[in-house]
Amino acid sequence: MATILWLGLSLVLEPASLLITTALLIILFTFLGVWSSGVMETYWGKDPSKVVVDEMVGVWIPLLAVNNGEAHYIYYALLALLLFRLFDIFKPLGIRKMEMFKGGWGIMLDDILAGIYSLLGLLILYGARCLIG
């Protein structure tokens, strides 16, 4: 859902506006997500699967690297989603440790870190593409 929303925005916003909008969505939904998921954890149990705001923020983070001014940016958006899902599923490099935080922060931080790793992976791929030509 987060990728579809971002793709919709990418059709109507210029690259700089999309970057700013994405960053603002990440910030806003992170704080709303920490609060709301912490509240919902009380009713639905630890890290409830019904809470998806953490996934949305995690997916938007690597999308910061995608330039909708490029011809094939949709492929990079899908790659951003794929990278995020891989990091989110396998939870390497300390991602799983983020779940040890209490409440909403524990729910949000593992997906935020998965998103950051996905962003770094996408930036490395962009850099490699530029070096190759």
Task: Look up the domain containing 53 and give its range.
Answer: 2-132
Quote the pLDDT of residue 92: 96
| Assessment of whether the complete model's pTM goes beyond 0.75 | yes
Helices (H), 45-102: 53-63, 73-90
pLDDT in tens, 51-108: 899 999 999 999 999 999 998 899 999 999 999 999 999 999 999 999 999 999 999 9
Question: What's the domain count of the chain?
Answer: 1
